Amino acid sequence: MHNVLDSSKPGRLTGLVYLVLIISGAAGYSTMAFLLARTDAALTPARLAGSDTAFTAAYAALVVSFVTWVVLAFMLHRLMGRFGQRIGFAMVAFTLAGAAMNLIALSHLWPLVGTLDAGVDAETLTPRLERYERTLAAAQLFSGLWLFPFGWLVLRSRIAPQVLGWCLIIGGAAYLLDFLRLFAPDLGQMPAYRIVTTPLAVVAMIGELGMCLWLLVKGARIAQPSGC
pLDDT tens sequence across 166-180: 999 999 998 998 888
Supply angle C-alpha 131, 135, 136, rounded to 5: 115
- Asked if residue 226 has pLDDT above 70, the reply is no
pLDDT for 2 equals 45
Furthest C-alpha separation in the chain: 68
Name the packing angle between helices 147-157 and 52-80 (round to 10°). 40
The contacts of residue 214 (CB under 8 Å, 6+ apart) are 15, 160, 161, 164
Query: Which ranges of the chain would DSSP assign to H, the alpha helix?
Result: 8-36, 43-48, 52-80, 85-107, 122-145, 147-157, 162-179, 191-218
pLDDT 10s digits, 11-49: 899 999 999 999 999 999 999 988 888 666 566 777 787
- Asked if residue 1 has pLDDT above 50, the reply is no
Strand-strand pairing, 4-6 and 221-223? antiparallel
**How crowded is residue 112: how many other Cβ atoms within 10 Å of its Cβ?**
21
Count of alpha carbons within 13 angstroms of residue 49, beta-carbon side: 10
Give whichever of 24-38, 114-128, 134-148 has the largest mean pLDDT.
Answer: 134-148
Q: Is residue 79 within 8 Å of residue 127, measured between CB atoms? A: no
pTM of the model: 0.86
